[in-house]
A = this chain, B = another copy of it.
Amino acid sequence: MSSLSATHPPKGLEGIVATTSRICYIDGDRGILAYRGIDIHELADHSTFEEVCYLLWFGKLPSRSELQDLRSRLAKERTLDPAILDFLRKAPKNALPMDVLRTAVSALSFYDADEKANDHDANVRKAVRLTSQMAMIVAAYDRIRKGQQVVEPNPSLSHAANFLLMLTGEKPSPTAERAFDIALILHADHELNASTFAARVTAATLSDMHSASTSAIGALKGPLHGGANEAAFRILETIAKAGADPVDHVRGMLAQKKKIPGFGHRVYHTEDPRATHLRQMSRELGASSGQEQWFEMSRRIEQLLNTEKKLNANVDFYSASTYHVLGIDLDLFTPIFAVSRISGWAAHVIEQLDDNRLIRPRADYIGPAYPQKYVPIDRR
């Protein structure tokens, strides 16, 4: 018996509009993704992650001086309170990087100059700060757990190059920097994906940016969301280790009714436009580094799923082989997704708070009919 006369949408709020938004346009039938109306293909071809941050946070492309100003602000915020570095040093060396990132971002609130402010301008400052700090946390924890020195940030580098420097200890090649910058652009926002929605639900109680970002990281961790890029590469790795045929292996998974991570998407009914770029990057980086096997394996799996299951690769499938060829550890794939997506989370939190209403749906109660008797313990 339902107690609610409310609308009863499909499970998982599929197709339900939870809010209006001016940030991200998706046409799932035509395979279109655009930030503030600008097509993702144009941004991937011509823009930078810093410019995309500006676009997401301020609603327009920056002038040269506006862009320079944001780059300076991001570079200036490349600093972590010593207590955060101490926390990273004391975290168990086998802790999951996503758990460490979630905890460290939550702890950043203690040291944020704007912790008690929740107005628009304070939240833009927090967006800048969190974008710089999250990249540093991911890179620093990876080095610490490997027993390496934390690398000092370089304020003259782009966000992408500085992250790769802090991760690897070496200034990246222009090819690697650009590839990583494009990956950051492609992952920056995607409308009301689950982590962004978790961030907006959190912020809509008038809670703060750190709480919202912490929620988002927790949601991104799941294998039905950001965790899929890591899960996708684990399959490639299993196939490579076993020397198996990728098509046979994936056919075997399908026969066991297993989901293949990196395929299918709630919103796209055609190719995810981000997959188009990542496929090309995976191919090019594989060829230039002499590691073609990951791309080739991926391509065969994709063709199988296209043909036999009518499933398209999503953003996670080719980011897996791309990140691997860039020399990034498997369990950093999802943290790196977060390093980019903080730009979108912050934009959505700011938009939510600019015109807020508590996000509080209902559940349809299907449990024991009301009223059940409270039976005293002696008579149970």
Contact = CB atoms under 8 A, between A and B. Distances in A.
B362 A62 contact: no
A19 interface: yes
A374 B38 contact: yes
Contact of A361 (B18, B205, B360): B18
Interface in A281-311: none
A192 interface: yes
Interface string A341-380: 0000000000000000111111111111111111111101
Interface in A175-206: 191-195, 197-198, 201-206
A337 B347 CA distance: 30
A133 interface: no
Q: Specify how many copies of this chain sit in the oligomer.
A: 2
B197 A359 contact: yes
B63 A91 contact: no
A134 to B, nearest CB: 14
Contacts of A193: 360
Nearest to A205: B222
19 contacts: A7-B7, A8-B17, A16-B16, A22-B367, A23-B363, A26-B365, A37-B372, A42-B374, A61-B375, A63-B377, A96-B115, A103-B106, A191-B362, A194-B201, A194-B204, A201-B201, A205-B220, A211-B222, A215-B218
Interface of A: 3-4, 6-9, 11-27, 32, 34, 36-39, 42-43, 46-47, 51, 59, 61-64, 67, 83, 86-87, 90-92, 95-96, 99-100, 102-103, 106-107, 109-111, 115, 191-195, 197-198, 201-208, 210-212, 214-215, 217-227, 266-267, 357-378, 380
Given A103-B103, A358-B266, A26 B9 contact: no
Nearest to A14: B360
Contacts of A95: 109-110
B12 A6 contact: no
Contacts of A25: 3, 365, 367, 370
Contact of A15 (B6, B63, B202): B6
Q: Most chain-B CB neighbours within 10 Å: which of A51, A61, A106, A212?
A: A106
Contact of A372 (B8, B34, B227, B361): B34
Given A376-B46, A380-B63, A364 B202 contact: no
A338 B355 CA distance: 27
A219 B224 contact: no
Contact of A374 (B14, B47, B111, B207): B47
Contacts of A215: 198, 202, 214-215, 218-219
Contacts of A32: 370
A4 B17 contact: yes
A100 B214 CA distance: 13
A369 B27 CA distance: 12
Given A38-B374, A194-B201, A215-B202, A224 B358 contact: yes
B9 A7 contact: yes
A69 to B, nearest CB: 13
A205 B366 CA distance: 23
A261 to B, nearest CB: 11
Contacts of A198: 198, 201-202, 215
A84 to B, nearest CB: 11
